[in-house]
Amino acid sequence: MYPPAEPMGTEVFARLPESLHLTQQHSSWLAARHVKMHSFLEGPSFDRAGNLWCVDLAHGRILRVDPAGNFEVIVSYEGEPNGLKIHRDGRIFVADHLHGLMLLDPESRSIRPYLQHVQREGLKGLNDLFFASNGDLYFTDQGESALENPTGRVFRLRADGKTVDLLMDGLAGPNGLVMNKAENVLYVAITHDNAIYALRLEPGGQMKKASRFIQLSGSTAGPDGMALDCAGNLAVVHAQAGTVWLFSPLGEPLYRIRSCAGMRSTNVAFGGDDMRSLYITEAEQGVILRARLPHPGKPMYSHMD
Protein backbone atom coordinates (compact mmCIF):
# COMPACT_ATOMS: atom_id res chain seq x y z
CA MET A 1 0.00 0.00 0.00
CA TYR A 2 2.90 2.36 0.82
CA PRO A 3 6.60 2.38 -0.09
CA PRO A 4 8.85 0.72 2.50
CA ALA A 5 9.73 2.94 5.44
CA GLU A 6 13.27 4.29 5.45
CA PRO A 7 15.44 2.36 7.93
CA MET A 8 16.99 4.19 10.86
CA GLY A 9 19.37 2.90 13.51
CA THR A 10 19.72 3.43 17.24
CA GLU A 11 22.48 3.61 19.82
CA VAL A 12 22.54 2.70 23.50
CA PHE A 13 22.23 5.85 25.60
CA ALA A 14 22.14 4.17 29.01
CA ARG A 15 22.19 0.65 30.42
CA LEU A 16 20.77 -0.40 33.78
CA PRO A 17 23.85 -1.38 35.80
CA GLU A 18 24.20 -4.91 37.13
CA SER A 19 24.08 -3.51 40.67
CA LEU A 20 20.40 -2.69 40.01
CA HIS A 21 19.52 -6.05 38.42
CA LEU A 22 16.96 -7.87 40.57
CA THR A 23 17.55 -11.38 39.28
CA GLN A 24 16.63 -13.22 42.49
CA GLN A 25 13.78 -11.03 43.73
CA HIS A 26 10.25 -12.45 43.43
CA SER A 27 7.83 -10.57 41.22
CA SER A 28 4.16 -11.51 40.88
CA TRP A 29 4.08 -9.62 37.56
CA LEU A 30 6.85 -11.82 36.13
CA ALA A 31 5.43 -14.99 37.69
CA ALA A 32 2.10 -14.39 35.97
CA ARG A 33 3.96 -14.26 32.64
CA HIS A 34 6.23 -17.24 33.36
CA VAL A 35 9.39 -15.28 32.63
CA LYS A 36 12.47 -14.16 34.53
CA MET A 37 13.84 -10.66 33.95
CA HIS A 38 16.01 -8.40 36.07
CA SER A 39 13.85 -5.39 35.11
CA PHE A 40 11.19 -4.22 32.68
CA LEU A 41 11.73 -0.59 31.69
CA GLU A 42 8.76 1.55 30.63
CA GLY A 43 7.35 5.07 30.79
CA PRO A 44 10.19 7.47 29.83
CA SER A 45 9.61 11.20 30.53
CA PHE A 46 11.99 14.14 30.86
CA ASP A 47 11.97 16.73 33.62
CA ARG A 48 13.11 20.33 33.15
CA ALA A 49 16.61 19.54 34.40
CA GLY A 50 17.13 17.07 31.57
CA ASN A 51 16.76 13.94 33.69
CA LEU A 52 14.95 11.00 32.14
CA TRP A 53 12.45 9.31 34.46
CA CYS A 54 11.22 5.77 33.82
CA VAL A 55 9.72 2.81 35.67
CA ASP A 56 10.62 -0.79 36.29
CA LEU A 57 7.26 -2.51 35.89
CA ALA A 58 8.53 -5.91 36.99
CA HIS A 59 9.83 -4.81 40.40
CA GLY A 60 7.88 -1.69 41.36
CA ARG A 61 10.66 0.85 40.97
CA ILE A 62 10.73 4.46 39.78
CA LEU A 63 14.10 5.30 38.22
CA ARG A 64 15.84 8.54 37.26
CA VAL A 65 18.57 8.69 34.64
CA ASP A 66 20.81 11.77 34.57
CA PRO A 67 22.04 13.33 31.28
CA ALA A 68 25.22 11.23 31.53
CA GLY A 69 23.18 8.02 31.58
CA ASN A 70 23.53 7.14 35.28
CA PHE A 71 20.58 5.32 36.88
CA GLU A 72 19.24 6.00 40.37
CA VAL A 73 16.34 4.31 42.16
CA ILE A 74 14.06 7.05 43.52
CA VAL A 75 11.23 4.90 44.87
CA SER A 76 10.73 1.17 45.37
CA TYR A 77 7.28 -0.01 46.44
CA GLU A 78 4.78 -2.88 46.16
CA GLY A 79 3.22 -1.95 42.86
CA GLU A 80 3.26 -2.34 39.09
CA PRO A 81 4.12 1.09 37.66
CA ASN A 82 3.71 1.34 33.90
CA GLY A 83 3.26 4.83 32.45
CA LEU A 84 4.81 8.00 33.87
CA LYS A 85 4.22 11.66 33.01
CA ILE A 86 5.32 14.90 34.67
CA HIS A 87 3.03 17.84 35.48
CA ARG A 88 4.34 21.31 34.71
CA ASP A 89 4.41 22.00 38.45
CA GLY A 90 6.89 19.14 38.92
CA ARG A 91 4.54 16.51 40.29
CA ILE A 92 5.01 13.08 38.76
CA PHE A 93 1.99 10.94 37.90
CA VAL A 94 2.30 7.18 37.52
CA ALA A 95 -0.15 4.72 35.95
CA ASP A 96 0.00 1.64 38.18
CA HIS A 97 -1.74 -1.59 37.21
CA LEU A 98 -2.42 -2.54 40.84
CA HIS A 99 -3.10 0.79 42.55
CA GLY A 100 -4.54 3.10 39.89
CA LEU A 101 -3.21 6.60 39.33
CA MET A 102 -0.33 7.35 41.70
CA LEU A 103 1.38 10.60 42.64
CA LEU A 104 5.14 10.71 43.20
CA ASP A 105 6.77 13.53 45.13
CA PRO A 106 10.34 13.74 43.74
CA GLU A 107 11.54 15.82 46.69
CA SER A 108 10.42 13.50 49.48
CA ARG A 109 10.78 10.40 47.29
CA SER A 110 7.36 9.17 48.34
CA ILE A 111 4.49 7.78 46.30
CA ARG A 112 0.79 7.59 47.17
CA PRO A 113 -2.54 6.79 45.47
CA TYR A 114 -4.18 9.72 43.71
CA LEU A 115 -7.15 8.13 41.89
CA GLN A 116 -8.35 4.58 42.56
CA HIS A 117 -12.05 4.70 41.69
CA VAL A 118 -14.26 6.28 39.05
CA GLN A 119 -17.88 6.82 40.12
CA ARG A 120 -17.48 4.29 42.96
CA GLU A 121 -16.13 1.65 40.58
CA GLY A 122 -12.60 0.31 40.87
CA LEU A 123 -10.17 0.66 38.01
CA LYS A 124 -9.21 -2.47 36.07
CA GLY A 125 -5.48 -1.75 35.78
CA LEU A 126 -3.95 1.43 34.41
CA ASN A 127 -1.37 1.31 31.65
CA ASP A 128 -0.35 4.73 30.33
CA LEU A 129 -1.18 8.42 30.54
CA PHE A 130 -0.82 11.73 28.68
CA PHE A 131 -1.21 15.40 29.64
CA ALA A 132 -2.96 17.77 27.23
CA SER A 133 -1.75 21.37 27.10
CA ASN A 134 -4.69 22.50 29.27
CA GLY A 135 -3.73 20.10 32.08
CA ASP A 136 -6.31 17.42 31.35
CA LEU A 137 -4.87 13.96 31.98
CA TYR A 138 -5.85 11.12 29.64
CA PHE A 139 -5.20 7.55 30.72
CA THR A 140 -5.83 3.98 29.61
CA ASP A 141 -7.41 1.41 31.91
CA GLN A 142 -6.25 -1.79 30.28
CA GLY A 143 -6.76 -4.40 32.98
CA GLU A 144 -6.60 -7.89 31.44
CA SER A 145 -8.54 -6.90 28.32
CA ALA A 146 -7.81 -8.61 25.01
CA LEU A 147 -9.59 -9.57 21.78
CA GLU A 148 -11.55 -12.26 23.62
CA ASN A 149 -12.16 -9.88 26.55
CA PRO A 150 -12.62 -6.35 25.12
CA THR A 151 -13.18 -4.52 28.39
CA GLY A 152 -10.43 -1.88 28.33
CA ARG A 153 -11.28 1.80 28.74
CA VAL A 154 -9.97 5.29 28.06
CA PHE A 155 -10.59 8.04 30.61
CA ARG A 156 -9.87 11.74 31.02
CA LEU A 157 -9.20 13.38 34.38
CA ARG A 158 -9.97 17.07 33.98
CA ALA A 159 -7.43 19.66 35.10
CA ASP A 160 -9.57 20.35 38.17
CA GLY A 161 -8.32 17.00 39.52
CA LYS A 162 -11.87 15.82 40.26
CA THR A 163 -13.95 15.34 37.12
CA VAL A 164 -13.42 12.04 35.29
CA ASP A 165 -14.91 11.35 31.84
CA LEU A 166 -15.18 7.94 30.20
CA LEU A 167 -14.27 8.47 26.54
CA MET A 168 -14.47 4.90 25.23
CA ASP A 169 -14.82 1.34 26.49
CA GLY A 170 -14.99 -2.12 24.93
CA LEU A 171 -11.32 -2.03 23.91
CA ALA A 172 -8.90 -4.92 23.42
CA GLY A 173 -5.89 -3.72 25.37
CA PRO A 174 -5.70 0.11 25.30
CA ASN A 175 -2.08 1.08 25.91
CA GLY A 176 -0.05 4.17 24.95
CA LEU A 177 -1.79 7.41 24.01
CA VAL A 178 -0.94 10.85 22.67
CA MET A 179 -2.82 13.76 21.05
CA ASN A 180 -2.37 15.25 17.60
CA LYS A 181 -1.02 18.81 17.19
CA ALA A 182 -4.47 20.42 17.29
CA GLU A 183 -5.42 18.30 20.32
CA ASN A 184 -8.75 17.36 18.77
CA VAL A 185 -7.76 13.74 18.17
CA LEU A 186 -6.53 11.30 20.79
CA TYR A 187 -4.45 8.46 19.36
CA VAL A 188 -4.66 5.24 21.40
CA ALA A 189 -2.55 2.13 20.86
CA ILE A 190 -4.80 -0.94 21.03
CA THR A 191 -2.24 -3.63 21.67
CA HIS A 192 -4.31 -6.75 21.07
CA ASP A 193 -5.90 -5.38 17.91
CA ASN A 194 -2.41 -4.43 16.63
CA ALA A 195 -3.79 -1.02 15.75
CA ILE A 196 -3.84 2.70 16.52
CA TYR A 197 -7.32 4.16 17.05
CA ALA A 198 -8.18 7.83 16.55
CA LEU A 199 -10.68 9.20 19.06
CA ARG A 200 -12.09 12.46 17.72
CA LEU A 201 -12.94 15.03 20.37
CA GLU A 202 -15.65 17.67 20.10
CA PRO A 203 -14.93 21.24 21.31
CA GLY A 204 -16.63 20.42 24.61
CA GLY A 205 -14.45 17.35 25.05
CA GLN A 206 -16.94 14.64 24.11
CA MET A 207 -15.59 11.76 22.03
CA LYS A 208 -17.32 11.22 18.70
CA LYS A 209 -16.73 8.65 15.96
CA ALA A 210 -13.62 6.74 16.84
CA SER A 211 -11.85 5.07 13.94
CA ARG A 212 -8.94 2.75 13.23
CA PHE A 213 -6.17 5.12 12.12
CA ILE A 214 -3.31 2.65 11.53
CA GLN A 215 -3.45 -1.13 11.22
CA LEU A 216 -0.15 -2.82 12.00
CA SER A 217 0.84 -6.39 11.22
CA GLY A 218 3.30 -8.85 12.70
CA SER A 219 4.96 -9.01 16.12
CA THR A 220 3.69 -11.27 18.87
CA ALA A 221 2.34 -8.29 20.81
CA GLY A 222 1.25 -5.01 19.25
CA PRO A 223 1.69 -1.24 19.58
CA ASP A 224 2.78 0.14 22.95
CA GLY A 225 4.04 3.67 23.69
CA MET A 226 3.74 6.69 21.37
CA ALA A 227 5.05 10.23 20.94
CA LEU A 228 4.41 13.11 18.55
CA ASP A 229 6.88 15.44 16.83
CA CYS A 230 6.39 19.10 15.91
CA ALA A 231 5.48 18.17 12.32
CA GLY A 232 2.63 16.02 13.57
CA ASN A 233 4.40 12.74 12.83
CA LEU A 234 3.52 9.87 15.15
CA ALA A 235 6.18 7.60 16.67
CA VAL A 236 4.73 4.18 17.55
CA VAL A 237 6.56 1.44 19.42
CA HIS A 238 5.83 -2.01 17.95
CA ALA A 239 6.37 -4.21 20.98
CA GLN A 240 8.32 -7.45 20.54
CA ALA A 241 9.28 -6.37 17.03
CA GLY A 242 12.30 -4.31 18.07
CA THR A 243 10.85 -1.40 16.13
CA VAL A 244 9.57 2.14 16.44
CA TRP A 245 7.60 3.28 13.41
CA LEU A 246 7.36 6.96 12.47
CA PHE A 247 4.12 7.71 10.62
CA SER A 248 3.11 10.93 8.87
CA PRO A 249 -0.04 12.80 10.01
CA LEU A 250 -1.82 10.85 7.26
CA GLY A 251 -0.65 7.52 8.63
CA GLU A 252 2.04 6.91 6.00
CA PRO A 253 5.13 4.98 7.25
CA LEU A 254 8.17 7.26 7.03
CA TYR A 255 10.89 5.53 9.09
CA ARG A 256 11.46 2.17 10.73
CA ILE A 257 13.70 2.71 13.75
CA ARG A 258 15.30 -0.61 14.69
CA SER A 259 16.54 -1.54 18.12
CA CYS A 260 20.25 -2.27 18.40
CA ALA A 261 19.68 -4.13 21.69
CA GLY A 262 16.77 -6.49 22.19
CA MET A 263 13.31 -6.90 20.68
CA ARG A 264 11.14 -5.67 23.56
CA SER A 265 10.99 -1.93 22.95
CA THR A 266 8.24 -0.49 25.11
CA ASN A 267 7.93 3.30 25.10
CA VAL A 268 9.36 6.56 23.73
CA ALA A 269 10.02 10.20 24.64
CA PHE A 270 11.66 13.08 22.83
CA GLY A 271 14.56 14.81 24.57
CA GLY A 272 18.01 16.32 24.22
CA ASP A 273 19.06 19.93 23.82
CA ASP A 274 17.24 20.34 20.50
CA MET A 275 14.46 17.80 21.26
CA ARG A 276 15.34 15.83 18.13
CA SER A 277 16.53 12.75 19.97
CA LEU A 278 14.00 9.97 20.49
CA TYR A 279 14.67 7.92 23.62
CA ILE A 280 13.34 4.36 23.67
CA THR A 281 12.99 2.08 26.68
CA GLU A 282 13.97 -1.49 25.85
CA ALA A 283 12.89 -4.08 28.40
CA GLU A 284 14.67 -7.22 27.21
CA GLN A 285 18.17 -5.93 27.96
CA GLY A 286 17.30 -3.11 30.36
CA VAL A 287 18.64 -0.29 28.20
CA ILE A 288 17.54 3.08 26.89
CA LEU A 289 18.14 3.58 23.19
CA ARG A 290 18.45 6.82 21.26
CA ALA A 291 17.82 7.83 17.65
CA ARG A 292 18.14 11.18 15.87
CA LEU A 293 14.97 12.26 14.07
CA PRO A 294 14.37 14.96 11.43
CA HIS A 295 11.95 17.00 13.58
CA PRO A 296 11.94 17.90 17.28
CA GLY A 297 9.33 16.40 19.55
CA LYS A 298 6.23 18.35 20.48
CA PRO A 299 6.87 19.91 23.93
CA MET A 300 5.29 17.95 26.76
CA TYR A 301 3.13 19.52 29.44
CA SER A 302 6.04 19.25 31.87
CA HIS A 303 7.95 21.87 29.86
CA MET A 304 5.11 24.35 29.29
CA ASP A 305 5.13 27.70 31.14
So where are the chain's domains? Answer: 12-229
The pLDDT assigned to 173 comes to 98
The answer to the question of whether 193 is labelled as a binding residue is: no
Tens of pLDDT along the chain (305 residues)?
A: 788 999 999 999 999 999 999 998 888 898 888 888 999 999 999 999 999 999 999 999 999 999 999 999 999 999 999 999 999 999 999 999 999 999 999 999 999 999 999 988 999 999 999 999 999 999 999 999 999 999 999 999 999 999 999 999 999 999 999 999 999 999 999 999 999 999 999 999 999 999 999 999 988 899 999 999 999 999 999 999 999 999 999 999 999 999 999 999 999 999 999 999 999 999 999 999 999 999 999 999 999 98
For domain 12-229, give the CATH superfamily: TolB, C-terminal domain (2.120.10.30)
The pLDDT assigned to 119 comes to 86
The pLDDT assigned to 273 comes to 95
- Of 165, 224, 229, 273, the active-site residue reads 224
The answer to the question of whether 42 is labelled as a binding residue is: yes
The answer to the question of whether 128 is labelled as a binding residue is: no
What pTM does this model have?
A: 0.97
The answer to the question of whether 134 is labelled as a binding residue is: no
Is position 47 annotated as part of the catalytic site?
no
| CA quadruple 41, 126, 81, 275: dihedral sign | positive
